[in-house]
Amino acid sequence: MALKAALIAALSCCLPAVVNAAQQAQTVTTTDLKTKPEPKAETVASLPAGSMLQINDRQGGWYAAETSQGKGWVRLLHVRLAGGSSKPGKNGVDTLVKLGSTSRTDTTVATGIRGLTAEDLKQAKENPRELAKLDQFAVSDADARQFAAQGGVSSRTVGKE
């Protein structure tokens, strides 16, 4: 169980947290431009697929965007960011994701996880069935130690001494 927690913590460090600078983007599907980064927020405009926008910030699963129809928030999953290594907002995660790819393009599809509010977290309920799915990634202590040794990682006691 501790190995799962360590793996999740290590991987979460690799996820992009924010868009670093204004970046050009395009909607990939018809989507609403909202006043706040919330599904129930008032709609500023309905943006057809292919609408050009400028991304200025990110909050959870939403991008702050400026369009010809106004300013607001769009769902991250409905947007394709303009790619290319010279563009602002690029980071090491994009490179990491492309390492296993045999073909490369100048377009990156923006994906992410749903942003959670404090209220979402208060109302969260345990889902044992989903948690059990993590068991398929479990390895034995011996396998973990062997893998660590191959990578030059040494054991260290943390906590009470």
Q: Under DSSP, is residue 119 helix (H, G, I), strand (E, B) or coil? A: helix
- pLDDT given for residue 154 in this prediction: 84
Q: How does the average pLDDT of the chain come out, rounded?
A: 76
Which element (helix H / strand E) includes 46?
A: strand 43-47
Is the C-alpha dihedral spanning 38, 43, 19, 109 positive or negative? positive
- pLDDT given for residue 18 in this prediction: 40
Please list the ranges in the chain whose pLDDT falls under 50. 12-20, 84-104
- pLDDT given for residue 158 in this prediction: 85
- pLDDT given for residue 107 in this prediction: 53
Q: How far is CA 23 from CA 52, 66, 74, 92, in A?
A: 11, 10, 14, 16
- pLDDT given for residue 111 in this prediction: 53
The first and second tokens of residue 151, run together, are 């990578």
- pLDDT given for residue 88 in this prediction: 39
Report, in angstroms and rounded to the nearest whole number, the Rg of the chain calculated over CA atoms: 20
Backbone angles phi, psi at 13, to 5 degrees: -70, -20
**106 Cβ partners below 8 Å, 6+ apart?**
83, 84
